[in-house]
Amino acid sequence: MHIIGIAETKIAESSNHKLYLANPYYEIYTANSNEKPANKQKSSMGSALAVLKTLQLYINNILKLAETTIAVDFFSSRNQRIRIISVYLTMTNKKLNKKTQKTVVEWTQQVIAREYNVVIIGTSIQIGLKKRNYYHCSRWQNRLACQAY
């Protein structure tokens, strides 16, 4: 696997959170909760993407929505453009879920207009899009399934 989406990381955003994620094969990009909510709640929210270190040179942009979502844009040498979004929706905060879903829809529509392919990994999210370069990946019974829309 070259890119791995991780939801519900349970690691607070702090100066030393990268120590928990040190890995010789992957660079891990996170969108974790800040320290105050995480200290109040042991099960802190967060989402992450682990990218194989050899793919780092293709990263063009990284977007974050604290606590729930991270998006990484890749440009390949063959002019292929891909945005991979890792999403975590909490079961307890409907306001944050709506904000997250709205942000993911905006991020997806922005790059589809620029002819990117989009892969969304994580919690199930429904997005109404007309073009067929959108994919949703989710885990069901320990199998990863991706569906094109």
pLDDT in tens, 100-125: 888 988 998 888 888 888 888 876 55
Q: For the segment 16-36, what is each residue's pLDDT rounded down to a tens digit?
A: 555 556 788 888 888 876 655
pLDDT in tens, 32-55: 766 554 445 545 677 888 899 899
- 115 — alpha (psi -120 to 50), left (phi > 0) or beta? left
φ/ψ of 104, rounded to 5, equals -65, -40
pLDDT at 132 over 50: no
CA 121, 25, 56, 29 dihedral sign is: positive
Maximum CA pair distance of the chain?
47
The whole-number pLDDT of residue 34 equals: 62
Residue type, 27: E
Report helix, strand or coil for 112: helix
**CA nearest to 107, candidates 136, 67, 64:** 64
